Amino acid sequence: MSQKRPRQLASGVCIAMVALVLVACGQQYPNTTFTNNTDFNSDIYALWNRLLLLGTIVFVFVEALLLFTVFKFRRREGAPAPRQTHGNASLEIAWTIIPALILAMIAVPTVKTIWKTQAPAPAGAIVVQVIGHQWWWEFRYPQYGVVTANELYLPVGRTASFELTTRDVLHSFWAPQLGGKRDLITNHTNLLWYTPRDSLAGSVFNGFCTEYCGSSHANMRLRVYTVTPAQFESWAAHQANPAALSPAPAAAVNAPVPAKPAVNTASLAGGLTPPAPPPPAPVGAVAATEGYVFPRDKLNAWNVPMTPFPTGSNEVKFDDSLLAQGDAARGHELVGNMANMSKAPCLTCHIIKGEYPGVLKNDDMAKAPNLTHFATRHTFAGGVYNTDARTLARWVKNAPHMKPGSLMPTLGLGEYNPDPLVRKIMATGLDDRQIADIVAYLMSLK
């Protein structure tokens, strides 16, 4: 076998690699960082283009020089020993200065962009508090009194000013199409702002946690809906309402809602739900579906989570035929019944605005997502599952099996609880019918 064989193989594979990359170029990239979707990302993209251009020039030059040298000066039979050169001061100075000049061409725009993008957010920005939790996102809009999870609504054309904190370990907030990431650091508040362009109205983007945060780091995702200002106002106004089945008026039971900004909502959202405070809804009534929700049918394939149900020893068995019999009122009863806490201690971690006050006095005490308008979100569990009855039933039954490390406890009767501190079959808990009722209730939280 000749020595040439591996080399021929190498060139063949290199060509195949280039071909593969070209094939890959034909695909869609829903999480690409190469966009002009926000002012922030335009700055980054411009910088990237310069880096890529200079990097490519250096790459081509160095590799070409290397290959040329290697082929030109390969040993020939009978050639005399080469001249013994030890260095060349002017050459060496040249290749010290030229890289320095190239780096200066990067350094100048870099420093400009640093100071530009880290300046204070412009006035009139919408404040979004991003709070990291293992392994889900909490989003609060203090100007609107809205608390939601995993799905972020941003009005186009208005700067979104993110205030990032975390309740536990470090996380990092990143929606690649909209801009760079910023870490969530415990006991710090970090800042990040960008303005989605007007052309993005009606778009949806995926986002991810990009700081390793434990077992389900991979399962900490988010969606960003960029909507028109009118749609946003409508959405926010509705989200501030108490829950659909809530028996009590919102104002009496919730932490005070911060003052609203001076935005003329009436003119924007004509005919839609007035901002606040809504009339108390009677028990059993299906309250407002009037608020804007990003339409599910406008989601792209890549916005819909495809996470399969766990199989094998982690499979969560549930009789889906029971779901049709689920009763929201009974579920409501189960979730809120304080006497039932040992079976379904939902309200020790979750807040459902207007429901059974007294357990969690304010949003900061809630360890788990606010469920007030749970059913208006298209995804749940850190954005890894679709909000539908089948998935939700399995989630309620045994969340740690559905999502590794999940802090939501195992609730299903007879289910194995994998919590390292428990590790046993649950002797108490909810049977499948009760779960179907709770699912029906949760799905009514429009």
Partner 1 sequence: MATTAAAPAFAPGKAAEYGTSGVWSWITTVDHKRIGALYLYTALFFFLFGGIEAGIIRWQLALPNQHVVSAEMYNQLFTMHGTTMIFLAVMPLSAAFFNFLIPLQIGARDVAFPRLNAFSYWVYVLGGLFMTIPIFFNAAPNGGWFGYAPLTTMQFSGGLNIDFWVMGLQILGISSLAAAFNFITTIINMRAPGMTLMRMPMFTWMAFVVQFLLVLAFPVITIALVFLLFDRFFGTNFYAIAAGADPLLWQHLFWVFGHPEVYILILPAFGLVSEILPTYSRKPLFGYNVMVYSGIMIGFLGFGVWAHHMFSVGMGAMADTIFALTTMLIGIPTGVKIFNWIATMWGGQIRFTTAMKFGIGLVGLFTIGGISGVMHSSPPADLQQTDTYFIVAHFHYVLFGGSIMGIFGGIYHYFPKITGRYLDEKLGSWHFWINFIGMNLTFFPMHYSGMLGMPRRVYTYDSGQGWETFNLMSSIGTVLIVIGTAIFVVNFLRSRKHGAIAPNDAWGAGTLEWSIPSPPPDYNFAEIPVVTSRYPLWDLKSPDKTAGIAHSAPDSLTITDAHAVPMHEETGGKTAAQLGIPMPFPTVKPAIAALAIIVMFSGLLFMHVGKFSVAMAVTLSGAVLFVGTLYAWLTSPLE
List the interface residues with partner 1, window 19-38 (CB under 8 A). 20-21, 23-24, 27-34
Nearer to partner 1, 74 or 324 (CB): 74
Cβ(131)–Cβ(165) below 8 Å = yes
422 SS3 class: coil
Site string for partner 1, 71-90 (x = CB under 8 A): --xxxx--x-xxxxxxxx--
**Contact call for residue 217 and partner 1 (CB under 8 A):** yes
Least separation in angstroms between residue 4's CB and partner 1 is 10
Binds partner 1 (CB under 8 A): choice among 128, 160, 200, 213: 213
389-397 helix and 432-443 helix, angle to the nearest 10 degrees: 130
**Contact call for residue 91 and partner 1 (CB under 8 A):** yes
Least separation in angstroms between residue 151's CB and partner 1 is 16
263 SS3 class: coil
Nearer to partner 1, 177 or 195 (CB): 177
Least separation in angstroms between residue 218's CB and partner 1 is 4
Query: How far is residue 134's CA from residue 211's CA, in Å, rounded to a whole number?
Result: 11
CA distances from residue 260 to 25, 115, 257, 271, 363 in whole angstroms, order as listed: 46, 31, 8, 20, 18
**Contact call for residue 165 and partner 1 (CB under 8 A):** no
For the sheet with 151-155, list strands across it.
151-155, 221-227, 203-209, 171-174, 182-184
- For 265-302, give the DSSP string: HHHHSTTS--SSPPPPPPTT------S----GGG--GG
At residue 307's C-alpha, the angle toward residues 303 and 311, to 5°, is 170
What are the structure tokens assigned to 158, written together?
């208005």
**172-201: contacts with partner 1 (CB under 8 A):** 172, 174, 176-177, 179-183, 185-188, 190-191
Nearer to partner 1, 129 or 307 (CB): 307
**111-140: contacts with partner 1 (CB under 8 A):** 111, 113-115, 117-118, 134
**Tokens 């189960």, residue?**
334
Least separation in angstroms between residue 330's CB and partner 1 is 34
Neighbour count for residue 363 (Cβ, 10 Å): 16
**Contact call for residue 55 and partner 1 (CB under 8 A):** yes
**257-316: contacts with partner 1 (CB under 8 A):** 301-302, 305-308, 310-311
Least separation in angstroms between residue 263's CB and partner 1 is 29
Query: How far is residue 37's CA from residue 199's CA, in Å, rounded to a whole number?
Result: 8
**Contact call for residue 62 and partner 1 (CB under 8 A):** yes
DSSP code of residue 193: E
Candidate ranges 58-66, 337-345, 354-362, 425-433; the one touching partner 1 (CB under 8 A): 58-66
